[in-house]
A and B are shown apart, each in its own frame.
Chain A
Amino acid sequence: MASVYLLILKRFIFFALLQGLIFNNFDFYDIYDPYICLVFIITFPIKVDKITFMIISFVFGFVLDMYSNSLGINAAACLSIAFLRSYILSFVFGSFYDPHGIKLIKNYVLESTFSQKFLYISSIIIIHHLFIFSLETFSFKFISLIVYKTLITYLISLIFCATFIYIMIENEK
């Protein structure tokens, strides 16, 4: 169990710095940044119980907030997808999902169909982005802007996150 927490700590520092120092300045068409930090939550070990997972995600979001000069927005979004992840997993993978975490995330990715992987990653990214952008503006006046920006940022984030997860799994083999 201790080795799991060590792995989480390593990934925590790596993804927080990667997002804060490099990908926040990515500026695709000036206003779109990929959220590579979501890989941390997508690949978070299922073994760890849910409350610890939520607290770690909350702190992770808080660290991201420091780098983007906002306060609480990333924390709320990361917390929410940490809370929703078990529901998404059971919805997408059905009976294949076991809440006790005997299977690793690697098994989910390797032993599932393409549409399942796609749905799992996409739903987490879209929920996170919708949460962030609507909290930032917090008014119905900008609702079309929020949807539009969510879609474009989703595409960029999806490409980067999928590539990253692929690299991580190839390394573990």
Chain B
Amino acid sequence: MQQIIDFIIRKKDVVVYLILLIFSLTLVFNSNYFHKSKVLIFSNSIANYSTENFNYLNEYFELKKINSSLLEENLVLKNQLEKINKNISLDSLTNINFSYKNAKVISNNLSSFKNRLVINKGIKDGLKTEMGVISSDGIVGIIDNTTKRYSSIMSILNIEMKINAKVKRTEHFGTLEWNGFDTRHLTLNDISETAKIKVGDSIITGGMSLIFPEGINIGIVSKIINQNETHSNTKGSAFTVNIRDDSIIDLDIRENYLNIEVKLHNDMSNLNNVYIIESFNKKEFQKLKK
């Protein structure tokens, strides 16, 4: 017993190090799994308060840019309204599925692998987790944590993010993911090789989940990578083995997917005003899914 105590006293910095390390690592992993961890809520609200005040200064320099982007958006919306006005036969009151709220970005970080944004609205303004966030050009992310006055958004530039999207022209569905580096491009996976997709096709949200309404612009196809082409040399030899071994056939089938690089419409490094989408049918939809 004496020896153990002696050992601990001799190695006390290692013991302190290990205790603190374990503490910080539990914080890291808890914050990934339990979205509403108390520590995060406490710490975020202090930091956000100072960032918000500091941002007032920054905003003045960008007023011109913000103004012109708002004008552009206004123009697009006016044109859309003009088109819709002509065939307004539906009763719009009973058919609302989504409503929009606006918010301002307080902090926006692109340097990590799991990027988050913070906006200046929270529970007080009726925001909840798992609401979609878009900007005037395209999608931005999904709310993953709300405090009384602020909410943090899991950006689309986050390696854990998976968004259901489809090709507008051919209606093929796939999953959008980020590769961790390029902030202007995402990859669209799980689209089969048979789909005739061209460079320049537009990609829109799929509407499979009720987070985003169907048909919000995301970007355009900028490059198509066929995974099979890289394996084409080995394909002949693999085929002869296929006859004997079933597992290799599975492997070949899985490779028949396209990797599509999508160029984003919106510039994630320069976001000021965003819109939050609230879905009214979400509870009903989730009940059905269970």
Contact = CB atoms under 8 A, between A and B. Distances in A.
A131 B113 CA distance: 13
A68 B17 CA distance: 23
A160 to B, nearest CB: 14
Contact-size category for B:
35 or more
Q: Looking at A66, A73, A145, which has the most chain B CB atoms within 10 Å of its CB?
A: A66
Interface stretch (B38-46, B226-234, B250-258, B271-279): B38-46
A59 to B, nearest CB: 10
Contact of B17 (A17, A20, A54, A136): A54
Q: Looking at B17, B39, B116, B268, which has the most chain A CB atoms within 10 Å of its CB?
A: B17
A50 interface: yes
DSSP class of B's interface residues: helix, strand, loop or mixed?
helix
A33 B152 CA distance: 20
B28 A69 contact: no
Contacts of B180: 137, 142, 145
Contact of B16 (A51, A66, A135): A51
A67 interface: yes
Interface in A52-101: 54-55, 58, 61-62, 65-73, 75-76, 79-80, 83
A55 B20 contact: yes
Q: Looking at B30, B43, B47, B118, which has the most chain A CB atoms within 10 Å of its CB?
A: B47
Contact of A27 (B51, B159, B269): B269
B27 A75 contact: yes
A111 interface: no
A98 B181 CA distance: 43
Interface residues of A, number: 39
A142 B159 contact: yes
Nearest to B267: A30
A31 interface: yes
Contact of B28 (A25, A71, A133): A71
A69 B181 contact: no
A71 B111 contact: no
A136 B114 contact: yes
Contacts of A27: 110-111, 269
B28 A68 contact: no
A72 B13 contact: no
A168 interface: no
Contacts of B17: 54, 79-80, 83
Given A55-B20, A71-B37, A24 B13 contact: no
A75 B24 contact: yes
B263 to A, nearest CB: 14
Contacts of B114: 70, 136
14 contacts: A21-B51, A25-B107, A25-B108, A27-B111, A31-B111, A31-B183, A51-B12, A54-B16, A54-B17, A69-B109, A75-B20, A133-B113, A137-B159, A145-B181
Interface of A: 17, 20-21, 24-25, 27, 30-33, 50-51, 54-55, 58, 61-62, 65-73, 75-76, 79-80, 83, 133, 135-137, 142, 145, 149, 153
Interface of B: 12-13, 16-17, 20-21, 24-28, 30-31, 37, 39-40, 43-44, 46-47, 50-51, 54, 107-114, 116, 118, 152, 159, 180-181, 183, 268-269
